[in-house]
């Protein structure tokens, strides 16, 4: 289990529990950065899925002709 971040890494200000941003300087917390990384990965996976479907259908149509 990851330890809860209690202070801003940039300015050292105390953070609200589960905060995504520092209230003083606006820096992202570790938790928010991790969520952003997960979101990017999910988006990339979805994009690859769509590309795979398009390539698959293109191949099917070229085989049928």
Give the footprint of Zn ion on this chain (CB under 5 A).
8, 10-11, 13, 22, 24-25, 27
Nearer to Zn ion, 10 or 58 (CB): 10
Rounded Cα distance, 22 and 9, in Å: 9
Handedness of CA 19, 23, 28, 30 (dihedral sign): negative
Shortest CB 20 distance to Zn ion, Å: 12
- DSSP state, residue 3: P
Nearer Cβ to Zn ion, position 13 or 51? 13
| Closer of 7 and 51 to Zn ion (Cβ) | 7
Instruction: Give least dist CB 5 to Zn ion, A.
Output: 11
Q: DSSP letter for 26, please.
A: -
Q: Which residue has the tokens 């050292």?
A: 12
């Amino acid at each position: 289990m990851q330890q809860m971040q209690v202070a801003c890494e940039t300015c050292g200000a105390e953070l609200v529990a589960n905060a995504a941003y520092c209230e003083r300087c606006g820096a992202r917390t570790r938790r928010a950065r991790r969520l952003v990384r997960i979101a990017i990965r999910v988006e990339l996976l979805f994009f690859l899925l769509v590309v795979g479907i398009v390539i698959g259908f293109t191949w099917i149509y070229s085989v049928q002709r």
